[in-house]
Amino acid sequence: MSELDRVLGGGLVPGAVVLLAGEPGVGKSTLLLEAGALAAAAGRVLYVTGEESAAQVRLRADRIGAVSDSLYLAAETDFAALLGHVQAVDPALLIVDSVQTISAAGVDGVPGGVTQVREITAALTALAKQRTLTTVLVGHVTKDGTVAGPRTLEHLVDVVLHFDGDARGQLRMVRALKNRFGPTDEFGCFELGESGLVGLADPSGLFLSQRHDPVPGTCVTVTLEGRRPLVAEVQALVGPVAADIPPRRVVSGLDSARVGMMLAVLQRRARLQMGRCDVFAATVGGVRLTEPSVDLAVALAAASALADVSVPADLVAIGEIGLAGEIRRVAGIRRRLAEAERMGFRRAIVPAGSDLMAPAGSANGGSANGRSANGASADHGQLNGGRPVAATRLRELDAASGAQLKITEVTDIRGAITAALGLR
């Protein structure tokens, strides 16, 4: 599973203990059953289930094609019996679904309690190190999405993965929260269907709405998930409220605190009257965007909804916004713009001073002195007092077709609104 290998940093390490957490029904068991069937091609795999019967797991394995002669299944909740299965099978990979359902007779507390979970995890970790046995534990999560159980649970294991997704959709994502053997900023995308989970090597485009005409209140951005750029759409709906009713702020897929900050910046720095309006902000496709580079797209979507003016459909906005209204530079701007180009966008708004230079010897990319790749001079916009707030340059996309990306560099939120919506 290339997407899971990406998150793990190349695959499972012998003797490593991995904790996979996620909400009920998101597909944790399906993911590990498929991974176990693939790993069974190289050695024996023992799958211990404490939440389902062996017959239920076998039915799922038949449905998704995860049946192998080297994949052994045991329905067990007693830790001593689990150790007996390990001794009998001598697997190279042990999967325990889930650690909260396993109990030990000599340990105080009920199954799933703090003491039981801590001792069981510590014992399985010691077993993994002693036998060089790769072990994957399934963990429950709390209402706020954190791993259930004592905090020491995350310290005991080598890798902590979080598996999430919209229960009403088919998209699933796995992220590394801790990884002693690889990066912690990668994520993998899967599509959940009747035949199981299918890895999505190119998820860009899944988080864009399918429409032909621009609609007020939408803006596209490019976020970085690890080293992977992701094109995603932010939508906002703004409407007035009655004088005696407090305005609502409803957010889905975004950081509610940052959305509140963006609305305050629009109110104070851009002079947009957002205080007495209901504001609803969401992402498309169930993706969660928490990177600060999404700030500019959120602000432009809200400004667009308030003014009832559409952001151009071929435009992407990338940048972090400060409380003073300034647009701050973000990392990986060239990688983001390259992905926007690949997805067919022809205009971009980025922070002023961004490193737009292509690597030495490249035929693409603008120049540092504000001239375009084809030699055209930059076009500098002006606001009050003659202070430049936007510089536009053309970046050549394809020498054969002559296609170009029009990049506008802005210094503050007012310049960004002017560049995107034509409002002053």
Q: Residue 205: exposed, middle, or buried by beta-carbon count in 10 A (0-12, 13-18, 19+)?
A: middle
Taking the C-alpha atoms of 7, 164, 28 and 179 in order, what is their torsion angle to the nearest 10 degrees? 30
* Domains: count for the chain: 2
Half-sphere exposure of 185 (CA within 13 A, CB side): 9
Q: Is residue 281 situated within a structural domain?
A: yes
Residue 166 DSSP symbol: -
Same domain, 40 and 105: yes
Q: If DSSP codes are grouped into helix, strand and coil, which group holds residue 381?
A: strand
pLDDT tens column, 216-268: 999 999 999 878 899 999 999 999 998 788 999 999 999 999 999 999 999 99
Q: What is the DSSP letter of 24?
A: T
Residue 112's pLDDT is what?
A: 85
Check whether residue 161 and residue 224 sit in a common domain. no
Who's near 49: CB < 8 A, 6+ residues apart? 29, 57, 73, 74, 75, 76, 97
What pLDDT sits at residue 5? 94
Tell me what pLDDT residue 381 has: 41
Tell me: pLDDT of 179 over 90.
yes
Residues 232 and 135 in one domain: no
pLDDT for position 225: 84
Note whether residue 211 is domain-resident. no
- DSSP letters for 90-110: --SEEEEE-GGG-B-TTS-S-
236 and 174 together in one domain: no
Over residues 284-308, the pLDDT tens digits come to: 988 889 999 999 999 999 999 999 9
- The pLDDT assigned to 368 comes to 33
| 78-87, 112-121, 317-326: least confident range | 112-121
DSSP character string of 192-258 = EETTEEEE-S--TTTBS---SS--TTEEEEEEEETTEEEEEEEEEEEEE--TTSPPPEEEESB-HHH
Residue 374, C-beta contacts closer than 8 angstroms, at least 6 positions apart:
394, 396, 404
CATH for 87:
3.40.50.300
Per residue in 384-397, pLDDT tens? 444 445 665 555 44
Pick the last residue of a domain from 199, 227, 257: 199
What's the pLDDT tens digit per position in 186-202?
A: 889 999 888 899 998 88
User: Is residue 210 a part of any domain in this protein?
Assistant: no
Of 275, 299, 135, 316, nearest to 217 by C-alpha is 299
Residue 209: which pLDDT band, with cuts at 50, 70 and 90? Answer: confident
| Whole-number pLDDT of residue 203 | 85
Q: What is the CATH number of the domain that holds 225?
A: 3.30.230.10
Which residue among 140, 170, 199 closes a domain? 199
- Same domain for 224 and 155: no
- Work out the average pLDDT over 337-346: 93
User: 225 and 194, same structural domain?
Assistant: no
Q: Dump pLDDT digits (tens) for 64-114.
A: 999 999 999 999 999 999 999 999 999 999 999 999 999 999 898 888 888
* Pair of tokens at residue 139: 């963990």
Residue 400 lies in a domain: yes
Nearest to 182 by CA among 123, 227, 136, 132: 227
Q: pTM for this one? A: 0.78
Task: Based on the fold, state whether residues 323 and 281 are members of the same structural domain.
Answer: yes
Can you give the pLDDT at residue 302? 98
- What mean pLDDT is predicted for residues 9-30? 93
Is the domain of 88 the same as that of 141? Answer: yes
CA-based nearest residue to 92, from 116, 68, 120, 119: 68
Reported as a single tens digit per residue, the pLDDT across 46-55 is: 999 999 999 9
Residue 395 and residue 300 share a domain? yes
- Return the pLDDT at 106: 87
- pLDDT, tens only, 124-168: 999 999 999 999 999 988 777 777 766 778 899 999 999 988 777
Q: Which residue is listed with tokens 């390259």?
A: 338
pLDDT digits 0-9 by tens, 355-409: 886 543 333 433 333 333 333 334 434 434 444 456 655 554 444 444 578 999 9
Per-residue pLDDT, 374: 34
In which domain, by residue range, is 83 found?
A: 2-199
Rg of the Cα trace of the chain? 25
Report d(CA 271, CA 292) in Å as an integer: 22
Q: Is residue 209 part of a domain?
A: no
User: Looking at 148, 164, 199, which one is the last position of a domain?
Assistant: 199
The verdict on residue 126 lying in a domain is: yes
The C-alpha atoms of residue 189 and residue 220 are separated, in whole angstroms, by: 20
User: Do 385 and 284 have their domain in common?
Assistant: yes
Residue 212 lies in a domain: no
User: Which residues pair with residue 156 across a beta bridge?
Assistant: none
145 in the same domain as 225: no
How many CB atoms lie under 10 A from the CB of residue 213? 6
Is the link from the previous residue into 362 a cis peptide, with omega within 30 of 0?
no
User: Is residue 186 situated within a structural domain?
Assistant: yes
Residues 139 and 242 in one domain: no
